[in-house]
Amino acid sequence: MEKATFAAGCFWGVEAAYRQLEGVTSTRVGYTAGSLEDPTYKDVCSDTTGHAEAVEVEFDPSVVSYEDLLEVFWSNHDPTTVNRQGPDVGSQYRSGIFFHTSEQEAAARASLAAADASGRFRGPIVTEITPASQFWEAEEYHQQYLEKRGLATCRI
């Protein structure tokens, strides 16, 4: 199994999209790339901790490739908006790929370049690509939030 970590706005919909993929064995939502140890949702929503709402995906690379996960990432948010997704505004809603290996970094950079050159998006992509750092699991009520409410239908 391998891990991948993505930030694409509010983590609820992003998690639901990944959970639909064959080969994804588990997901958890949480906070990464910030300065505060063990932040809470309230802390992160203050937009003062530097954390991004993110999804950590555990996957079987013999069933689903990292490149497939990247395609889901690009398909489920607007990577051209700085610190915003839809009505959600703040650095916690930024677009980010947090790589765990040098192979993931190379794939993420190639995928971003291809997506940017494709003309698929209206503006330049602002997605950050940085090493994965400490991932703090969000409170239980955020885990599989949309599934618990019967709303887990996302684009794939």
Which amino acid does the sequence have at 27?
T
Sketch the domain layout of the chain as residue ranges: 2-148
The predicted-structure confidence for 86-141, as pLDDT tens digits, reads as follows 889 999 999 999 999 999 999 999 999 999 999 999 999 999 999 999 999 999 88
- pLDDT (average), residues 53-58: 98
Active-site hit among 7, 8, 10, 55 = 10
pLDDT band with cut points at 50, 70 and 90 for residue 147: confident
Does position 156 have pLDDT exceeding 70, yes or no? Answer: no
Closest alpha carbon to 14 in 44, 52, 55: 55
Range 2-148: architecture per CATH: 2-Layer Sandwich (3.30)
Residue 145: pLDDT band (50, 70, 90) is confident
Judge whether 10 counts as a catalytic residue: yes
- As a whole number of Å, the end-to-end CA separation of the chain is 22
pTM: 0.93
